[in-house]
Structure formats: C-alpha cells, structure tokens
Structure 1
Amino acid sequence: MKSIALSFRACWHGMTPYISRLLSLLAVLSLIGSLPWWSNQDPAARLYQARYGEPGHSPEQLASIRAELALDQGPVHYLLNWANNLLQGQWGESWISGQPILPGVVDAVVVSLHLMAMALIVAFITAIALSAPSMLLGLKGRARPSSEGLSIACVALPEFLLATLLLLIFAVGLGWLPPYGWSAPSHWILPALALGLPAGGLLGRLLSDGLSHTFHEPWIATWQASGFSQRRIMMAVLNRTIPALIPQISLVMVGLTGGAVAVEQVFAIPGIGRATLGAAVAYDLPQLQGGILCLLMIALILGLASRLIHYLMLGRYLRSGALPTATPIQYAAKHPSRTIWLLGVLLIGGCWLVGITGDPISSEYTRLAPPSLNLWLGADASGRDLLARLAHGALITLGLTLLAGIIAFTTGLLLGLLRQGIDGPVEMANATPPVLVGMTVTALNGPSQWGALLAVSLVSWAPLAAHTRALLEETRAQPFVRMAPTLGVSPWRNLWRYQLPGIMPTIFRHALVRLPGTALALASLSFLGLGSRPPTPEWGRLLAEGMPYMERAPWVVMAPTLALILFAIVIFKLSAYSLLLKRQARA
C-alpha cells in the first residue's frame, strides 16, 4: 500500500502542472465568454448608449435588447451558448454594426501577423548587429558583452513611443515615408521598425551576454588549442548559447502582440489590435471577445512554439546532464560619471521645480503657443503650460509605477511560495500583454488610471512568482534547510527564518529592474485611451493629446516624448547600477 501511495503521489505531482495549465486556460476562456456580466452596469443599458449615443432608455427598450442578444437568460447560459457557437465557427455579430465578426477578424489577423513577421525580421537583424562585437571579441579570446548604449536606447523606447518618433521624423519632418496605411510596401517600413527595434535591442543584449558567458566555458579553450577553425567554433558557440535564450525570446515574441496594438493605432493599420481597441472603446463586446481571443491564441502559440524549440535543441543534453558550466566572470566595473549624473539631476530637478509651481489645468496661454522664455516648452491645444503638465504628470507616473511595483512584488512573492499549482497562472499571465487586460477593463468600467494600474498589476507579478519559486527550490535543497526539521524547526519558522532572508534581496532587485517596463506599460495604456482621463496630466495622456497637432506644433509631442525617453533611460541605468554595486559588494 505504501508503494501505491508513493506512486500515486508522484503521478499527482507530475500531472499538477498540466492540470494547472488546463484550469487556467478554462478560467480565461470563461472570463472572456462572460464579459457582459463583469461590468458594474447593466450590459443592455451600456449597449443602448453605445449603439444610439443616448443615455436615456425605457424598460421596454432594455428588455428588447436583452431578448435580442440572449442576455435575459443569465451568464451561465450565455457562456455555454458562446462556447458552443465558438466551436462551430460562429463568432457572433457585432453589437454596433450587426455584421458577422469572423470575416473581419480573419482579415485583421492576417495584417497583424504580417506586421509581426516583419518586426521579427527587424528584431533579429538588430540583435545580430548588437551582438556581433561580442562574437568577434570572443573569437579573439577577449570575450565580454558589447556596449550597452545602443541596447538601452532600443529597450528604453517602447513601441508606442518609438512609433511616434519615427512618424515625427521620417513622415512629418522629412517626408520620406507615408505616415498612415498598409496598402503598399512603403507603408510597412516604419511600423516594422517601431515594433521590431525594442525587441531587437533586448534580444541583442541577452545574446551578447550569453555569448560572453559561453566563450568562458572550458571547452572553448580546448577547441582553440586543438586547432578548430573559427567558423566551427562560432557555430558551436551559437548552438550552445541560443537554446538557453529561447524562453526569453518567447517572452519577446509574446510582447509583440501587445506592442502591435499601439503600432497599429499610431499608423492606422487595419490589424486585429486596432480593431480590438476600437471595440473596447465602443463597448462592442462580441468584437472585443473575438479580438482578445485571437491575440491570446497568437501569444500562446508563440510561447508553445518556443518551448518546443527549446526542448528539441536542449532536451537530450538536459536529460543526460551533459551541459557544461561556465566559470564565474568578473568584468571591470564601469561607474557612471558623477559629474554627468550631478549635472543631469540638477537640470531635471530645476525644470521640475519650475514646472511644479505652474497650473497644469487652466488655459492661460494661446493655443499651441511655441516655446519661449516665459513658456519653456510651449502650450498644448487647450492653451495649458506643457512644462507644468509634465511636472505634475511626473508625480502621477512615478506614483502609479511604484504602487504597481509594490503590488507585483508582494503578489509574486506570496504566490511563489506555493510549490504546486501556479504553472498555469504564471504562463497565462506571461502570455497576456497588459494592453489586453487594459482593453477588457476599459470595456467593462471605462478608462481610468486605476483601471490601468489594475491591468498592469494583474500580469506583472508572474515573472517575480516564477523567480521566487525557482530560488526557493534551490534554497530548499541546501543541507542546513533540509536538516532544520530534524532539529525541531517548524516549517513556518524554517521558511521565515532560513529561506526567505536569502531570496528576498534578489527578488527585490528583480522588481526594481522591472520598474521601467511597468512605467512604460502604464504610459502606453494612457496613450491608447485605456488609462488616465483628461485633464489628468499623465505623460502617456499628454502624448495622445498632442498627436493630432503633430504637424502644426511638434513641440506638443516632443515634450512628453523626451520626458518618457529620459525617464526610461534613467531608471534603466539606475537599475543596472544597483546590480553592479551588489556584484561588487559580493566580490
């Protein structure tokens, strides 16, 4: 009996991750299928207002709408009916136009996949260009990561911000490329660059670090002493390095589904992201359900494909334990110049102090007034001081970012303590860009900064939870932790006294490193109309408000754009600097 119980327990532990993934998928599908009942308002009343543009309605009109859309039969029947129609290929009809959803969704998905494929080409070319110096230095015996300047410049510019810059420079300023549309190859260049360069910058940095570590493995010196050609060594190094990066490449590819929404919106591309965003704003729930389902399916397929590639490339080595280990690497520390940092802090602080004394709401100046001595950054389309709005918006952006970081850190740490059952939620959250959650929250309760905070918090905990669980598994394998129960130490005391103190600093630094991405995610939601409402001076909101006047008054776009770029670069550099100080302290 004991052997049967042990076998059942081992089988259960082996099946738990798959059960968790299945339940998570069913939960997400149920959430999508029952969207009308997650709103704090009557879905029939919301639909009447969205369809006819009038808030007033009679009970008879609402009853007619409920009967027309089968809303009078309750959420369970609606969900089951939606799932049954979905399996039969009937995705329903738009609540606004009354047209079938599936043909339009298919056409939009084709456009989005075309955009993502071109962006992947740009990303891989960028990654190769950024990591090429590391490969060349490694072949010469001087392996180290390449310069991080270009990588940080690419990563610090999110898709919506880079799209705005490219549109401002190459379409509006120079007139080399068309600003909008998707009908000709010339329309493809700017969107592909906007979507592919941030991904390429991150992949380039990861590949550069991976190559430098691989070149420090002992077998490299053996191959070089044996007279192997540089071409053969290069191919072997790539074969050793790339499989370890497949999980990160998977996250980058999944991130393209969220970034495509912003790029399609900026360049007016008729893709599934733009169509889904329009459905969220218009409260067209069937269209929103179809769009979210397609975007989520694309993200899940990309994630599963990367896991399969990783298994095919490294599976036999992982099973045999034949992977070589790298020797610890110590690079010369590069401290940022204190003079440059001091001057930068004084300049930014001075501008902020000047702006924070101004009024960000009142319209005291001429519409779209250019920058001057009295109006350093000019005025927006409502005659409001841009510097004052940026200064006050900095408090909102930083406050929301820190709050989202605290929520993600706390949630990730607590869920990471669980030994079983979080595989599915973690993978589902990693496969869901914040913009998808933001569109859902906006469709149900309207846009708000707290809705944007909720959308980012619901998915940003997953990497921290996975990291926490991985570190705890290593810590629990330590001899002193395994011996603690035999000495009478309770499981709770063992966790609180001996396990958590060892992993908390690492998880905290991980949360700090993720703050730039959190800030840019919140700004992108506001830029897309899914976050702060006017007249709140949130930076993403400022950028969205200035877009219609980009040709007449480019300063209304350049001011929030430069603020976001500077903010992202500073946080990236500070995060990297904190990690450098920690490594030096350990050394």
Structure 2
Amino acid sequence: MNPSSTLRQWLASDTPATRTQARLGAIYRLARRFLTHPIGVLGLAMVASIVLAAGLAPWLPLADPIAQSLDQRLLPPSAAHWLGTDTLGRDILARVVHGARPTLAIVALVLVISVPVGLLVGAAAGLWGGWIDAVLMRVADVFLAFPRLILAIAVAAALSAGLWTAVIAIAATGWPPYARVARAEIAALRRSEFVQAARAIGVSPLRLLFRHALPLSLPSAFVRAALDAPGIVLIVAGLGFLGVGLPPPQPEWGAMVAEGRAIVFEAWWVSTLPGIMILWLSLGFNFVGDAMRDVVDPGVK
C-alpha cells in the first residue's frame, strides 16, 4: 500500500480510535519496509553507533577529554592511547567520543526548530494561498538567498561562541527548504475532495491546517530532515574548524581537525581520525535518508 494513501485513510477516519489504529498501522508498515532496505539498515547502524557511544561517554572507561599532559604530546596510537594524543597530550579517543555529543545535540536541536517552522510556514502558504502565500514565500526566498554556511559563520561570529549560538546560526537558514516542499505538496491538494469537504462542513482554517494539511507533509519532511542532517554536521564542523564553534577546550570534531592540520604529515592521527568520524556520521545520515525516500515514495526508484 502506498504510504500517501495510508495517510489519507487515517485523515478520513471517523473516530479517534480508528485514526490511532490507522496511524500505528502506517508506522508499522513503513518501519518494516525500512528494515528490509539494506542501505537503510547500514546507515541506521552507523548513526546508532555514534549515538550510543556519545550517550555512554560519561560511563565509558575513557580518559579525561580536556586533561592536558605535555610530556605525552603527539604520541602515536598505542595500547595506552588507542588513537594517540594531540598537541597538548590529550587523549584523542576520549575527545572523539565526547566530541560527538555537541555535534549530535546541534543536529537534533536544529531539526527540532527548522522542521516545525518550515512545515507550518509551507503548509499555511500552500493551503490558504493568496497574499499569505506570497508574503510567506518571499520571506523564505530572502533566507534562501543567503549562502547557508556564510550566514552561519556571520551569526556565530557576531554572538558569543557556544552550542545555542551554533543552533541559531544554522537554524536561521534551515527552515526555508521544508517550507518550499510543504507548500508545493499542500498547494497540489488545496482543491482535493477531502479538503473541500472539510471546508464545506465548517472546519476552521487552523483545524484544517493542523488536522489535514500538516500530516500529509510529514513523510517528505522526515526524508528531508534525514538528508539535511549531513549538511548540518558539516556546517558544525566548519564552524569549529574556523574557530567560531564551541569554545575551547570543549572537544569538537571540526576544531580537532583544525588543531592538527599544520602537523598532518608528522602526526596524521590528530586531524585524520576526527575527520573520519565526520565522514562516518554524514554518510550514515545519507544512507538513512536515501532509504527513507525509497520507503515513503517507492516511485522514485
């Protein structure tokens, strides 16, 4: 069964119990289809490995990620330090594991802010049309006109370094793509029968927005969020690399790459291993997003 038809079925359900049953059935079918997608399972395992390590970091037998020991600086990987040490003698394994925590937190917070804002703006523009559509989409166009990384760097440089600064800097340009996709989907359904029927029986505009329009744009929003996550990871790393991310000595992958770029030929492990983790997490999110796209809309194959 096509996932979009399943969504329309639960929207047409008469009772809350029937709607809940339809929603659970749709989620179950989508989950089963996703778990049969080998690339999706691989990507999920890659992302889950990072999430699990970051979540258990305080309880893992790791060294202090910010403790300095200058007599052990730039030690190569060994039994004492599995991934070696950096220019200040800090254990790279501990810093890589703890450095995943702010990256994952920023990705999650940016998506929590960008996705709902973009869906609300896009669904309202597509459903109501007219001057509301024109105003909301022109606002989205203004934010889309700015290069995302450049605007993030400008915002982060203007504010004090920190996790919420990075979140605000990235989320400021993160919501317009969701708004454009939601607007296109809802505008195509504006004159569909179930929307016209809801208007005919006196459904309020807000209820029409939240009850009918937003659920139909959720599947594509989830796919877009999974595919957007690698870009957020790279922007976070870019901010840290340029020194406008998290303040030192907090471990952060981009800052770790920047610390080792001048000695990459003498001590390759300082910058190479954090770079591999950036690649690993970004690739995992890409695999998950590709699989979700195939599951939600099998026609793209």
Tell me the TM-score normalised to structure 2 length.
0.75
Aligned-residue sequence identity (percent) comes to 33
Distance 1:486 1:341, change over 3 A: closer
SS at match of 1:459: coil
Distance 1:504 1:336, change over 3 A: closer
> Which position in structure 1 is the counterpart of 2:92?
386
Which amino acid letter does the alignment assign opposite residue 362 of structure 1?
A
> Which position in structure 2 is the counterpart of 1:375?
81
> Which position in structure 1 is the counterpart of 2:139?
425
Which amino acid letter does the alignment assign opposite residue 292 of structure 2?
S
CA RMSD of aligned residues (A): 3.0
Q: Indicate conservation of the 8 Å contact 1:438/1:451, yes or no.
A: no
Shift of 1:443: 4.0
Distance 1:420 1:446, change over 3 A: same
- Larger relative contact order (C-alpha < 8 A, sep ≥ 6)? 2
Determine which of 358, 362, 368 is the counterpart of 2:67. Answer: 362
Question: Distance in 1 between the 2:47 and 2:105 partners?
Answer: 19
Structure 1: unaligned runs, 5 residues or longer: 1-332
Question: Distance in 1 between the 2:196 and 2:269 partners?
Answer: 62
Q: How many residues align?
A: 254
Question: Distance in 1 between the 2:209 and 2:300 partners?
Answer: 24
Determine which of 514, 531, 535 is the counterpart of 2:245. Answer: 531
Mapping of residues 40-439 of structure 1, within 5 Å: 335-336=38-39, 356-358=60-62, 359-364=64-69, 366-416=72-122, 417-418=124-125, 419-439=133-153
Determine which of 499, 504, 512 is the counterpart of 2:213. Answer: 499
Determine which of 528, 552, 564 is the counterpart of 2:266. Answer: 552
Distance 1:478 1:533, change over 3 A: same
Question: Distance in 2 between the 1:434 and 1:558 partners?
Answer: 26
> Which position in structure 1 is the counterpart of 2:130?
none
Which amino acid letter does the alignment assign opposite residue 521 of structure 1?
I
Q: Do structure 1's residue 571 and structure 2's residue 285 form an aligned pair?
A: yes
Which amino acid letter does the alignment assign opposite residue 68 of structure 2?
S
Question: Distance in 1 between the 2:300 and 2:264 partners?
Answer: 50
Distance 1:498 1:334, change over 3 A: closer
Determine which of 176, 180, 183 is the counterpart of 1:469. Answer: 183
Q: Indicate conservation of the 8 Å contact 2:119/2:214, yes or no.
A: no
Which amino acid letter does the alignment assign opposite residue 567 of structure 1?
L
Q: For each residue in 1:536-560, what CA deviation from the matched residue of structure 2 results, as whole angstroms up to 9, or x when unmatched? A: 1111111111122223211101111
Which amino acid letter does the alignment assign opposite residue 366 of structure 1?
Q
Which amino acid letter does the alignment assign opposite residue 272 of structure 2?
M
SS at match of 1:536: coil
Structure 2: unaligned runs, 5 residues or longer: 1-35, 126-132
Q: Indicate conservation of the 8 Å contact 2:50/2:281, yes or no.
A: no
Question: Distance in 2 between the 1:458 and 1:342 partners?
Answer: 27
Shift of 1:517: 0.9
Question: Distance in 2 between the 1:343 and 1:491 partners?
Answer: 42
Which of the two has higher C-alpha Rg? 1
SS at match of 1:422: helix
Distance 1:572 1:482, change over 3 A: same
Shift of 1:349: 8.2
Q: For each residue in 1:411-469, what CA deviation from the matched residue of structure 2 results, as whole angstroms up to 9, or x when unmatched? A: 11222223230232222222212332233324433433322221111001110111111
Shift of 1:373: 1.4
Q: Do structure 1's residue 456 and structure 2's residue 170 form an aligned pair?
A: yes
SS at match of 1:514: helix
Tell me the TM-score normalised to structure 1 length.
0.40
Which amino acid letter does the alignment assign opposite residue 335 of structure 1?
P
